[in-house]
Structure 1
Amino acid sequence: MKIVEIHIATKQEKPIRFQEYGVGIFNTISTKSAIKKAIKKKLIYIDGNLTTTSKYISGGEKIELLESKNSLTFKRLKLDLELLFEDDYLAVIYKPAGLLVSGNKFVTIANALPQNLQKSNQQDAVKPQPIHRLDYPTSGLLLIGKTSSAIQKLSELFKQKEIQKTYYAITIGNMCSGGTINFKIDKKDASTEFKVLKAVKSERFEYLNLVELQPKTGRKHQLRKHLAGIGHQILGDKNYGKTELILKGKGLYLHAAKLEFEHPFTKENISVSIKLPKKFIKIFPDF
């Protein structure tokens, strides 16, 4: 079969599994699951040998991707993204509500990144990759890695809880001023700190609250589940909470507003924030 892409592995501080290293090094397969599928289909060779999921990379290896029988012509997604920070290693972009971060669909943030970001000049430059997820209906800041080492280091910062994320939500009901929500999600510990910044009376919902949220863990749908679990579901949430309190047609009132972390290469303190969406301001015009 025809070789479609070749990559020379960069030097690693310590050996890393190829299925971890390989995320983003090819234009046509950009996720960990896609790497695993390509290995299973016998499309990846390392130093002339068919690779396996147990293969480790140290640096200098020649990695070849073969053409798949089912491969399609690569199309570029024309989708303008708002860029808030970018350097040679990473970027922070704004994800509007109603867009997938990644997946099998063509219209995703991941597919739009190469057309919106400058190509890195680093030796281990790869196709830009989102480091974390935001739900389809959630708007806000998304951290992007532009090199293989940046993707690895930023992912590790998330695992070590060294990236601080601040969200804002509008919730339903008469809430206390703040506190910490601690209950398990999918049998795993989960913790969320919250603070009510402002509340207004509502004819339908009794009260609507503007709430600042800081997740201390990163479970799937954590903020939505935690707030619904204490009886104060997020406005517009169709999946959690009481059916009779669902607001239709306006989307989910959950917004990822701030990211703070130490740059893994320059050691600069990075703090990026973005204002609340217009639909929030309509309810809380003075904020």
Structure 2
Amino acid sequence: MEKKVFIVDKEGTRIDKYLSDVLEGKSRSFIQGLIEKENISVNNNLVKSNYKLKLSDKIEVIIPEPEILKVTPEEIKLDILYEDKDIIVVNKEQGMVVHPAPGNYNGTLVNALLFHCDDLSSINGIIRPGIVHRIDKDTSGVLVVAKNDSAHNKLATQLKDHSMKREYYALVEGRLKNDLGTINKPLGRDKKNRLKIAITEDGRKAITHYEVLERYNAGYTLIKCILETGRTHQIRVHMTSLGHPLVGDPLYGFKKQRFKLEGQMLHAKKLGFIHPTTKEYVEFITDLPNYFKEVLQKLK
């Protein structure tokens, strides 16, 4: 168990945001989990995640020892793009969940990784070992996994300061007018439907840059999206806000779909970052998966 104490020198910030900034490698969701488990107090009183800090508040944080992992290793084929003693870079297939969650503890990327290797970082606890960032179940593409806590912290810092390069390809409904664009709209949990993310005034900063790659006569547009931030469902919600939801999106897309798809047409095509040990910039590019290519071929 580790205990940390902070004295607040600037008021008005939410406690979960403040602690995610000062605790290296600890995400906002991790902090919120500690608050829910009553491991964080302010002036000896328990608080909620939205507590606004006051000047000279005394914050006490108890970080418990990582629990023994109870997720079962499973022999599941992985498309490994690169691996060394610090990181694994994988090309996740559409339909695979990244980490176990209630009601879905098997068949995930984590289950597969635990079978493949014994050493994964413990920072995100028993359910998400090694997971630095996620992509949705029905989004395919490249992501990096940390094998140790040092690598995890360094990669998480790059995510936080937006220096990690993430490029996605998406097929959207309709023909986008502008060749280039930037969507800067804050995102938060939808207050009416907890399964959805929505554009909210009190949401977290979210910025997506997009570029049109090809327009199709049938009324679709292939775009490249570069994430400046990485919020849950960011591209899906941002493009829907423009009136151009992703093709095949079961949550934000059109009810009537031309193609029989298992999920949204979104692929994490490129990932670039500074290697946590060599300090050199590395970049990994993946080909579009077959399901994506087949739809594009039909449109052509």
TM-score, normalised to structure 2's length?
A: 0.67
260, 267, 274: which one aligns with 1:255: 267
Q: How does 1:1-287 map to 2 (within 5 A)?
A: 54-55=61-62, 75-104=72-101, 105-107=104-106, 108-117=108-117, 119=119, 129-176=130-177, 177-186=179-188, 187-202=203-218, 207-245=219-257, 247-285=259-297
In structure 2, relative to structure 1, the CA distance for the partners of 1:180 and 1:152 (3 Å cut) is: same
In structure 2, relative to structure 1, the CA distance for the partners of 1:192 and 1:228 (3 Å cut) is: same
Partner Cα distance (2:78, 2:210) in 1: 29
> What's the CA shift for 1:36?
5.4
Q: Percent identity?
A: 29
Structure 1 unpaired stretches of 5+ = 1-6, 10-15, 24-30, 42-52, 58-62
Q: Per-residue displacement from partner, 1:235-282 (whole Å, max 9, x unpaired)?
A: 000111432357543421000011011112211111001100112222
Partner Cα distance (2:258, 2:225) in 1: 21
Whose strand fraction is larger, Structure 1's or Structure 2's? 1
In structure 2, relative to structure 1, the CA distance for the partners of 1:116 and 1:154 (3 Å cut) is: same
Contact 1:80–1:116 (CA under 8 A) maintained in structure 2: no
Which has the greater radius of gyration?
Answer: 1
Partner Cα distance (2:237, 2:132) in 1: 22
Structure 2 unpaired stretches of 5+ = 3-18, 40-59, 189-202
Question: Aligned partner of 2:289: which letter?
Answer: P
Contact 1:91–1:146 (CA under 8 A) maintained in structure 2: yes
Aligned to 2:44: none
Task: Report the number of matched residues.
Answer: 237
Question: Aligned partner of 2:170: which letter?
Answer: A
Contact 2:247–2:253 (CA under 8 A) maintained in structure 1: no
> What's the CA shift for 1:112?
1.4
> What's the CA shift for 1:185?
1.5
Question: Aligned partner of 2:216: which letter?
Answer: V
C-alpha RMSD over aligned residues: 3.7
TM-score, normalised to structure 1's length?
A: 0.70
Worse-superposed segment, 105-114 or 156-165: 105-114
In structure 2, relative to structure 1, the CA distance for the partners of 1:64 and 1:216 (3 Å cut) is: closer
